[in-house]
A and B are shown apart, each in its own frame.
Chain A
Amino acid sequence: MKISLNHLKNYVNVTVPVEELCDRMVMAGFEVESIEKQGENLVNVVAARILSLTPHEDSDHLQICQMDVGADAPVQIVTGAQNIHVGDLVPAALHNSTLPNGAHIKAGKLRGVDSNGMLCSGGELCLTEDDYEGASVNGILILKDEWPTGTDMREVLGLDDYIIDFKITANRPDCNCFLGVAKEVSVVLGTEFKAPDPTYQTVGGDIADYIDVTVENADLCPRYLGRIVKNLRIKPSPDWMQKALIASGMRPINNIVDITNFVMLETGQPMHAFNYNDLSDKRIIVRNAVAGETITTLDGKEYALTPDMLVIADGKKPSCLAGIMGGKESEIEDTTTDLFLESAKFRRDNIRHTGRALGIRTEASGRFERGTDICNVEYAMNRALSLIDQLDAGDIIDGALDRHNGLPEDRILTVSSQSILDLLGVEIPEETMVDILNRLALETTAKDGVLTVRVPSIRDDVEGRADLAEEVMRIYGYDHIVGTPMRGEVIRGTVLPERAKADKIKALLCGMGADEIMTYSFIASRAIDTLLLPEDDARRNQIKILNPLGDEYSTLRTQLTTSLLTVLSTNLNRKITDGRFFELSKRFVPESLPLTAQPKELPTLSIGIYGKEEDFFTLKGMVEAVMQLCGAHTQYERSNEPYLHPGRQALVKANNQVSAVFGEVHPTVAAAYDIPERVYVAEIQLEVLYAIEKRRVTAKPLPKFPAVERDFAMLCDLEVPVGNLERAIQSGAGRLLEKIQLFDVYTGSQIPEGKKSVAYSIWLRSADGTLSDEQIDAVSAKIMKNLEKAGAELRK
Chain B
Amino acid sequence: MLRPSCGAEFIFFLEEKTMKEQLEQIRAAAKSALNHAGIEQEIEDLRVKYLGKKGELTAILKQMGSLSAEERPAMGQLVNDAKQELEALIATRKKDLKAAATELKLKAERIDITLPAKMRKQGHLHPLTGVTNDMIDIFRSMGFDVVDGPEVETDHYNFECLNVPADHPARDMQDTFYLAENLLLRTQTSAAQIRTMETRKPPIRVVCPGRVFRADEVDATHSPVFHQMEGLVVDKGITMCDLKGVLEQFAHEIYGPETKVKFRPSFFPFTEPSVEVDVTCSECGGSGCRICKGSGWIEILGAGMVHPRVLESCGIDPTVYSGFAFGIGLDRLTTTRHKISDIRSLFENDQRFLEQF
* A and B interact physically: yes
CB distance from A611 to the nearest CB of B (A): 11
C-alpha gap A457/B220 in the complex (Å): 43
**How far is it, in angstroms, between the C-alpha of A548 and the C-alpha of B141 when the chains are bound?**
40
Binary contact readout A454-494 vs B (1 if CB under 8 angstroms, 0 otherwise) = 00000000001111011001100011011111111111111
| Pick from A29, A424, A496: contact of B265, CB under 8 Å | A29
> How near does chain B come to A731, taking the closest CB pair, in angstroms?
36
* B-contact 0/1 string along A484-517, CB 8 Å cutoff: 1111111111111011000100100111111111
Is A510 in contact with B123, judged by CB distance below 8 angstroms? Answer: yes
B37 contacts the other chain (Cβ, under 8 Å)? no
Closest 7 CB pairs of A and B: A425-B239, A425-B241, A349-B167, A169-B267, A470-B273, A29-B265, A483-B245
**Is B185's CB within 8 Å of the partner chain A?**
yes
Given A510-B124, A516-B126; 14 other pairs, CB 8 A cutoff: A170-B173, A371-B169, A424-B239, A466-B272, A478-B264, A482-B244, A486-B142, A492-B141, A493-B144, A510-B122, A515-B355, A547-B215, A570-B348, A571-B350
Is B189 at the interface (CB under 8 A from chain A)?
no
Are the CB atoms of A473 and B265 closer together than 8 Å?
yes
Q: Is A543 an interface residue (CB 8 A)?
A: yes
Instruction: Evaluate contact between B123 and A482: CB separation under 8 angstroms.
Output: no
* Residue among B154, B225, B352 making CB contact with A598, cutoff 8 Å: B154
Contact (Cβ within 8 A) B142 A490: yes
Instruction: Report B's interface with A, CB cutoff 8 A.
Output: 120-126, 128-129, 133, 136, 139-148, 150-154, 166-170, 172-173, 177-180, 183, 185, 203, 205-207, 211, 213, 215, 217-218, 224-225, 235, 237, 239-242, 244-249, 261-267, 269, 272-276, 305, 307-308, 322, 346-352, 354-355
Contact present for B248 and A483 (CB under 8 Å): yes
Known A464-B308, A478-B264: A513·B121 in contact at CB below 8 Å: yes
B272 touches A494 (CB 8 A): no
Interface segment out of the listed A232-240, A324-332, A438-446, A588-596: A588-596
Q: Verify B351–A576 contact, CB threshold 8 A.
A: yes
Alpha-carbon gap, A574 to B136, bound state (A): 35
Whether B241 pairs with A424 at a CB distance below 8 angstroms is: yes
CB-CB nearest in chain B for A574: B350
Q: Are B128 and A485 in contact (CB under 8 A)?
A: no
Which of B263, B273, B322, B352 has the most chain A CB within a 10 Å cutoff?
Answer: B273
Pair count A-B, CB < 8 A: 248
Complex Cα–Cα for A533 and B207 (A): 40
Q: Is B126 a contact partner of A517 (Cβ separation < 8 A)?
A: yes
Counting contact residues on chain A (CB < 8 A from B), the size range is 35 or more
Which one of B125, B169, B269, B274 has the greatest number of beta carbons of chain A within 10 Å? B169
- Alpha-carbon gap, A570 to B344, bound state (A): 14
Question: Which chain A residues border B247 with CB–CB below 8 Å?
Answer: 483
Task: Say yes or no: is A171 at the interface (Cβ < 8 Å to chain B).
Answer: yes
Q: Is A180 an interface residue (CB 8 A)?
A: no
CA distance A511 to B122 in the complex (A): 5
Residues on the B chain within 8 Å of A499, using CB: 146, 148
One of B148, B213, B274, B346 near A470 (C-beta < 8 A): B274
Contacts of B125 in A (CB 8 A): 506, 510, 516
- Complex contact B140–A515 (CB within 8 A): no
Q: Chain A: which residue is nearest B322 at the CB level?
A: A423
Interface residues of A in 363-396 (CB under 8 A from B): 369-371
Minimum CB–CB distance for A629 against chain B, Å:
15
**B273 to chain A: closest residue by CB:** A470
Select B267's contact among A172, A424, A473, A481, beta carbons within 8 Å. A172
State A171–B163 Cα separation when bound (angstroms).
Answer: 12
Residues of A within 8 A of B237 (CB): 422
Complex formed: what's the CA distance from A586 to B240 in Å? 36
Report the bound CA distance from A548 to B178 in whole Å: 8
* Given A170-B169, A547-B215, A466:B273 Cβ within 8 A: yes
Q: Does A407 contact B (CB under 8 A)?
A: no
Knowing A349-B167, A547-B177 touch, does A513 contact B264 (C-beta < 8 A)? no
A55 to chain B, nearest CB (A): 52
Tell me how far the C-beta of A25 lies from the nearest C-beta in chain B, rounded to whole angstroms. 10
Q: 26 A-B Cβ contacts within 8 A?
A: A29-B265, A171-B269, A370-B169, A470-B274, A478-B262, A478-B263, A478-B264, A482-B244, A484-B241, A486-B142, A486-B143, A493-B141, A493-B144, A494-B140, A510-B124, A515-B124, A517-B126, A518-B126, A521-B151, A521-B225, A522-B224, A522-B225, A574-B352, A588-B151, A598-B183, A599-B152
The answer on a CB contact under 8 Å between B213 and A481 is no
Give min CB distance, A736 to chain B, whole Å.
35
Kindly identify which residue among B126, B143, B274 contacts A492, using a CB–CB cutoff of 8 Å. Answer: B143
Is B213 within 8 A of A478, CB to CB? no
Compute how far the CA of A581 lies from the CA of B354 in the bound complex, rounded to whole angstroms. Answer: 10
Q: Which of A718-732 contact B (CB under 8 A)?
A: none
Q: How far is the CA of A27 from the CA of B266 in the complex (A)?
A: 9
Q: Is A295 an interface residue (CB 8 A)?
A: no
Contacts of B151 on A, CB cut-off 8 Å? 521, 586, 588, 601
Instruction: Check if B350 sits within 8 Å of A595, measured CB to CB.
Output: no
Q: How far is the CB of A92 from chain B (nearest CB, A)?
A: 35
B347 lies within 8 A of A520 (CB): yes
Contacts of B244 in A (CB 8 A): 481-484
User: Does A348 have its Cβ within 8 Å of any Cβ on chain B?
Assistant: yes
Question: Given A487, A495, A503, A513, which contacts B122 in the complex, CB threshold below 8 Å?
Answer: A513
A-side contacts of B346, CB under 8 Å:
518
Q: Is A544 an interface residue (CB 8 A)?
A: yes
- Report the Cα distance A59→B240, complex, angstroms: 76
CA distance in complex: A323, B58 (Å): 128
A6 close to chain B: CB less than 8 A: no
Cα A482 to Cα B146 in complex, Å, equals 27
A546 contacts B by Cβ under 8 Å: yes
Q: How far is the CA of A519 from the CA of B126 in the complex (A)?
A: 11
A478 touches B275 (CB 8 A): yes
Contact B263 A481 (CB under 8 A): yes
Are the C-beta atoms of B224 and A473 separated by less than 8 Å?
Answer: no
Q: A588 near B152 (CB under 8 angstroms)?
A: yes
Distance, CA A392 to CA B234, complexed state (A): 61
Contact between chains at A466 and B179 (CB < 8 Å): no
Q: Which residues of chain A are within 8 angstroms of B215 by Cβ–Cβ distance?
A: 547, 549
Whether the pair A466, B123 counts as a contact (CB closer than 8 A) is no
**Are A348 and B167 touching (Cβ within 8 A)?**
yes
Give the residues in chain A near B183, CB-CB below 8 Å.
595, 597-598
Are A486 and B249 in contact, CB atoms less than 8 angstroms apart? Answer: yes
